[in-house]
Structure 1
């Protein structure tokens, strides 16, 4: 049988088990290029476009718009024009969900825990068994699920870890301090406890500034930095967002704030709002975030700019041109020699909005 390429329901994040096909973006017979958005899928976390990982001719769309399909379900088929309709029929009829393979890959727990400096830290560990690990650090008010489009893509060649920082996600709801050095110190202790050796660090927003501080304070722990819309390069910061997020206590207050994170506000799902609100309602979280906001951004500006001191460290910086939280103009302060990429029509959550492109850039940067 000639080569046939399946289009399947992707797995975005550790907890995703199914997705709803919202719309096909291409017609049968379309020539598909790598990275072309093929269809829109909505999960309980976020809506996003499935982009083609391979080129080909779209021969048949199978998924019905509005229907829910499990991860790895066959949604469509690409094949060269020389492949007959009968061969495609045979391929579709014989397609079996690779459940056994998935069960083996997910045999371990989805989340792990580490006791570090008195903090109980939640983290995820996925990917390859060998190679230099890649550590992901989320931003202000976020958690490790912010990397749901990135972990598996980097895990093809590297061990990958994503951490809930202190006071965030399901880690201990308290802080080691409200400055970058204190937070970076906990990350360094986490890396030392797991005996990971030097790691590639990927940080978003506040997590980018923490990654930069980590590289300055603990240079032997960091092999390279990949920073997404990072704080720590310029004084301006949207404290209307950070302060508003810290104090928001209802869906009505949260929704317009979360919409500022994306160039397309339609990416903010009801489930995303519910998940954030559940975190915001934990005892002590509002006071914690207010204190962190005031510590990192006193007087409405960034208190520390560690990114400007990263000369000599392998550095990738990625921004969305339409970032409404940390201005993309701060890219002008990135040290010479770094790789800088600014995506048009993209907001603050660049690693979600341009996941395929970002993943390619990070893979190139870390050498895998």
Structure 2
């Protein structure tokens, strides 16, 4: 009967994740679960997120308790049809052997992040499934973000093709320089693509990363196989200037947390660790000045001052969180000949809050 038993395990989001806290179950024993149904909430050292069921079935047993920390791939629950006896489930749980972390896991996690030299300085990047066939995906984060903004997207896309995500200049763990201009961000993406022999890619840009992606498509159309714009800048004038100025100016947990909560429809996703990670970045020498320089170029007098040349963007995929409090979802209607999806239950970080839906849309648009 064991082949009819399906384990529910702690998911792994990115190579650096080792464990997570099961904060809440959303299903009960005896519930029939569908693929994609939200079954629990998990919090890591990066972020809290809902977990969607990868398998369908009858939840016969909850093994894990709310509030406890479990390592990746730990057994949390058991799915099995009614004909499987309780004794068989007991035996399955007792005999369950958690897949061990590869001995090279730490080395693999470290090697997942590499650095490359550009005119804008040293750039951190992650290049997953680099040797695979297929047109690569290049993921470009937004203002103040980093490549971990794609934590819930990289692995899913890498199952189909290579995936490159990078920290833009003055962001994440890339070099900080007050002299970097907006055009340097575009040129840096091109340089990294060239140095990694990525001749043509599916560009996926979030927020300011959408603006960068669209400009790159205009300047280097031969490098762009498709374009996905997620909560993109450059499609209208409106922007929440309180978010921009608040992100730049906040210097304490108390002032930064409400600013970061503007990014999500569910503000509880902003964990203490997430706030601390952003504060750690913002306290690096030169970060505040460099963000001010960039904000002064892109967001003049509380509005967006750089607009995408929409004629240069053929048939993009446009994704927005319905509850976006940073850039209005109504901007999605400002681009013609686009495949537009407005996702409920998500804010500006829709690729995190509705990761499964966003991943499915990108794969459908690009395969």
Deviation at 1:237, TM superposition (A): 1.1
Residue in structure 2 matched with residue 362 of structure 1 by the alignment: 362
Deviation at 1:145, TM superposition (A): 0.8
1:95 aligns with 2:134: no
Residue in structure 2 matched with residue 333 of structure 1 by the alignment: 334
SS at match of 1:123: strand
Q: Which stretch shifts more, 125-134 or 196-205? A: 125-134
CA contact (8 A) 1:142 1:169 kept: yes
SS at match of 1:331: helix
Deviation at 1:17, TM superposition (A): 0.5
Paired residue total: 364
CA contact (8 A) 1:233 1:307 kept: no
Distance in 2 between residues matched to 1:311 and 1:136, nearest whole Å: 17
Q: Deviations over 1:243-264 (max 9, x none)?
A: 2211111111101100111111
Residue in structure 1 matched with residue 188 of structure 2 by the alignment: 186
SS at match of 2:148: helix
1:162 aligns with 2:128: no
Residue in structure 1 matched with residue 276 of structure 2 by the alignment: 274
Which of residues 171, 187, 192 is equivalent to 2:174?
A: 171
Deviation at 1:106, TM superposition (A): 6.2
Residue in structure 2 matched with residue 45 of structure 1 by the alignment: 46
Distance in 2 between residues matched to 1:203 and 1:90, nearest whole Å: 48
SS at match of 1:189: helix
CA contact (8 A) 2:23 2:43 kept: yes
CA contact (8 A) 1:121 1:170 kept: yes
Change (3 A) 1:162 1:85: same
CA contact (8 A) 1:311 1:335 kept: no
Change (3 A) 1:340 1:230: same
**Aligned pairs (5 A) from 1:279-318:** 279-306=281-308, 308-312=310-314, 314-318=315-319
CA contact (8 A) 1:127 1:152 kept: no
Change (3 A) 1:132 1:48: same
Change (3 A) 1:89 1:46: same
SS at match of 1:286: helix
Which of residues 245, 250, 253 is equivalent to 1:251?
A: 253
Q: Which stretch shifts more, 10-19 or 68-77? A: 10-19
**Residue ranges of structure 1 left out of the alignment (5+ in a row):** none
Q: Deviations over 1:197-217 (max 9, x none)?
A: 211111110011111111111
Distance in 1 between residues matched to 2:105 and 2:275, nearest whole Å: 32
SS at match of 1:213: helix
Residue in structure 2 matched with residue 229 of structure 1 by the alignment: 231
Residue in structure 1 matched with residue 202 of structure 2 by the alignment: 200
Residue in structure 2 matched with residue 63 of structure 1 by the alignment: 64
Distance in 2 between residues matched to 1:307 and 1:44, nearest whole Å: 39
**TM-score scaled by structure 1?**
0.94
Distance in 2 between residues matched to 1:307 and 1:28, nearest whole Å: 53
Distance in 1 between residues matched to 2:60 and 2:73, nearest whole Å: 19
Deviation at 1:128, TM superposition (A): 6.2
Deviation at 1:103, TM superposition (A): 4.1
Residue in structure 2 matched with residue 19 of structure 1 by the alignment: 20
Deviation at 1:23, TM superposition (A): 1.2
Q: Which stretch shifts more, 52-61 or 165-174? A: 52-61
Distance in 1 between residues matched to 2:222 and 2:92, nearest whole Å: 51
Distance in 2 between residues matched to 1:137 and 1:291, nearest whole Å: 19
Residue in structure 1 matched with residue 55 of structure 2 by the alignment: 54
Distance in 1 between residues matched to 2:284 and 2:106, nearest whole Å: 32
1:342 aligns with 2:342: yes
Change (3 A) 1:250 1:307: farther
SS at match of 2:111: coil
SS at match of 1:76: strand
Change (3 A) 1:127 1:7: farther
Change (3 A) 1:204 1:268: same
SS at match of 2:304: coil
RMSD: 1.8
**TM-score scaled by structure 2?**
0.94
Deviation at 1:120, TM superposition (A): 0.3
Change (3 A) 1:6 1:176: farther
Change (3 A) 1:124 1:311: closer
